[in-house]
Chain A
Amino acid sequence: MTAPSPPLASRTQEPAWVRRTLIGAALAFLGAFLLLPLAVVFAEALKKGLDVYLAAIAEPDALAALRLTLLAAGIAVPLNVAIGLAAAWSLAKFRFRGQNVLLTLIDLPFSVSPVIAGLIYVLLFGLQGWFGPWLKAHDLQVVFAVPGIVLATVFVTFPFVARELIPTMQAQGTEQEEAARVLGASGWQILRRVTLPNVRWALLYGVILCNARAMGEFGAVSVVSGHVRGVTNTLPLHIEILYNEYQSAAAFAVASLLALLALVTLAAKALVERRLERAPPVTDAAPERASSAGAAVAFDRTALAS
């Protein structure tokens, strides 16, 4: 009698010691590269004590920087939501020539270095730029002033909302909207009553990402800002100034605010992701496309803060 076939479990799973080693290595890598930097922000911020920490945050220039950061985000996010919705509506619910080209173009700001993003606005609106003389003649200033900061922020956050909405809306197909249309709904009614409720989590996800990047943007804003304390500084720029003046504890104090924002962003992302996974997309498309919605959300990671 020949021996019975050995179970194939050993060929479909790694031995326990391999597993434990890999887990250890992965966690060590992540700990070194993720946790340490996060920890050092708070450690350095509180190094000189709690009162120095609070003073740094409450300082007028810091507060002004906070206001400007909120202003820039407050304009950039809603603007990009509107543009993102428009782009997603046209790309997801229709078929037209040049769709792929448009998708690639929308993605452009992702591949552009933030410094270059700032540079091009200087080229456009700076004194020697295309619109420079016109602006000077009308006594308007864009670069080295608040409008420039807002513009640069809008540029770098341009694709975020669109990239979250497009795959979700594509996966959901057009049947519901067409049904609403046949029942007599106008375009705005369809958008408000049918489409938006279906994509609300993807939209929220895009807003979270867009906001995080808008508030954290550094390179682009640094180029167009005049670095005038209290006027044309956002929080990241303020951090830079403090750091370069060797006010390290104050710099980390302000940085800790942004780090907290980052953690809140991560938590919000995780929560929304759970919602997106749980609610199956209402789809008339083939099952593969339904799963691609979840995958698309997972795929959509690129430069957030710079």
Chain B
Amino acid sequence: MASPAALAPAGVRRAPARARGPLSRALLTRTSVLPGFDLSLGITLFALGLIVLLPLSAAFAKTATMSWPAFVGAAFSPRVLASYRLTFGASLAAASVNAAFGLLVTWVLVRYPFPGRRIVDALIDLPFALPTAVAGIALTALYADNGWVGRWLALAGIQVAYTPLGVFVALTFIGLPFVVRTVQPVLQDLPREVEEAAATLGANRAQVFMRVILPALAPALLTGFALAFARALGEYGSVIFIAGNLPMVSEIAPLLIVTKLEQYDYAGATAIAVVLLLAAFTLLLAINALQAWARRREAA
């Protein structure tokens, strides 16, 4: 009996039967004819483990060697607490401002055609593309007492550079694109029909906005807020130039980590790092949940 392979015309290679590697056997939930799963997943896991997970675990391992009182002392001393207050407080404030103005900017970009809209749209990403050190010195130059903006604020008695207010301004700058870019696609895809439906049912424009448009944007808005907040928490380069870096007053947590490192207080630095990491991971989970919520609500 001729085998199927022998019956195939010469020159046509049949797809060879593959031996399934260990990763395929263990993890695949749906068989696939495509090759390369073991290799690609292997590379990914290897790189991930070596570059990301191993180093990150070093931080947690380090704090594990500390006794609990030592950890608490390092992670929650008055100076460190002051830095948390500044970091979390300024980040929250900056993210809130970005949520409000980001919504405004997105609305204008999506709904109102105006000359130069394309360029403005591209420029929104500037805080992403600009190196933080550059942003840091630029903002400091702007808001210093002799700076373009600083001199006007000084007349009103407001000092921005080298104060917590400066931290807030810098964090607002770097968080600007997050809200815009998360809300933009949602607003673009919002069907006009839904607004028209509300109008035919008797709602005036303000009611349409408050009851129909805004709730539809809420998940994306919150996600953008969370992303901006998370980014602001860890920000370093844009902030250290404009902050005064005075302990207990205008010192952000990441700077405190660097300071302790320079003093070879690895344990102290790591303790603060772990607190920040836990906060960041919690936010990451929250963001994932928000995005899942947004996807569930899509489309009716």
Direct contact of A and B (CB under 8 A): yes
Residues of A within 8 A of B (CB): 8, 10-14, 19, 22-23, 25-27, 29-30, 32-38, 40-41, 44, 82-83, 85-87, 89-90, 93-98, 102, 104-109, 111-116, 119-124, 126, 128-130, 151, 154-155, 158, 174, 177-178, 181-182, 184, 186-187, 190-191, 209, 212, 215-219, 222-223, 235-237, 239-240, 243, 248, 251-252, 255, 258-259, 262-263, 265-267, 269-270, 288, 291, 294-295, 298-299, 301-306
A-B CB contact pairs (8 Å), 29 listed: A11-B198, A11-B205, A19-B112, A23-B114, A30-B120, A33-B172, A34-B123, A36-B149, A37-B135, A87-B48, A94-B34, A96-B29, A112-B277, A113-B236, A114-B254, A116-B234, A130-B58, A174-B32, A216-B129, A218-B133, A222-B237, A236-B133, A259-B130, A259-B134, A294-B185, A299-B181, A301-B182, A303-B231, A306-B235
- Whether B55 lies near A155 (C-beta < 8 A) is yes
CA distance A22 to B114 in the complex (A): 12
Find out whether the CB atom of B173 lies under 8 angstroms from the CB atom of A33. yes
The minimal Cβ–Cβ distance linking B92 to chain A, given in whole angstroms, is: 16
Within 8 Å CB of A190, what residues of B? 34-35
**Do residues B254 and A219 form an inter-chain contact, with CB atoms below 8 A?**
yes
B88 interface hit (Cβ, 8 Å)? no
Within the complex, the shortest CB–CB distance from A219 to chain B, in Å, comes to: 4
B283 at interface by CB-CB < 8 Å: yes
Tell me if A262 and B141 are in contact (CB < 8 A). no
Across the interface, B133 reaches (CB within 8 A) one of A181, A255, A294, A295, namely: A255
B106-135 with Cβ < 8 A to chain A: 107-109, 112, 114, 118, 120-135
Residue of A nearest to B199 (CB): A11
Contact B132 A111 (CB under 8 A): no
Q: How far is the CA of A262 from the CA of B48 in the complex (A)?
A: 28
Chain B residue numbers with a CB within 8 Å of A82 are 43
Indicate which residue in A35, A106, A181, A252 contacts B34 across the interface (CB closer than 8 Å): A181
CA distance A252 to B241 in the complex (A): 13
State whether A121 and B284 are in contact (beta carbons under 8 Å apart), knowing that A26-B105, A190-B34, A262-B126 are contacts in the complex: no
Contact: A38 with B257, CB < 8 Å? no
Q: How far is the CB of A50 from chain B (nearest CB, A)?
A: 19
Do residues A124 and B58 form an inter-chain contact, with CB atoms below 8 A? yes
Q: Which residue of B35, B130, B139 contacts A187 across the interface (Cβ within 8 Å)?
A: B35
B75 CB–A CB distance under 8 Å: no
Segment touching A, from B8-16, B66-74, B78-86, B157-165: B8-16
Q: Are B261 and A223 in contact (CB under 8 A)?
A: yes
Which chain B residues lie closer than 8 Å to A182 at the CB level? 15, 33
> Which residues from A are CB-within-8-Å of B89?
none
Chain A residue nearest in CB terms to B36: A187
Residues in chain A near residue B181, CB distance under 8 A: 298-299, 301
By the criterion CB–CB under 8 Å, are B227 and A302 in contact? yes
Q: How far is the CB of A183 from chain B (nearest CB, A)?
A: 8
**A130 CA to B60 CA, complexed, in Å:** 13
- B291 and chain A: residue at smallest CB distance: A299
Q: Determine if A37 and B51 form an interchain contact, defined as CB atoms under 8 angstroms apart.
A: no
> In the complex the two chains form, what is the Cα distance from A210 to B59 in whole Å?
25
B185 and A295 form a contact (CB under 8 A): yes
Interface pair A86/B139, CB less than 8 Å apart = no
Name B269's contact: one of A83, A119, A266 (CB within 8 Å): A119
A258 near B12: Cβ-Cβ < 8 Å:
no
Residues of B within 8 A of A37 (CB): 130, 135, 138-139, 142, 173
Contact status A301-B55, CB under 8 Å: no
Q: Are A291 and B189 in contact (CB under 8 A)?
A: yes
With known contacts A34-B126, A128-B266, A252–B137 Cβ distance under 8 A: yes
B40→A116 contact, CB < 8 A: no
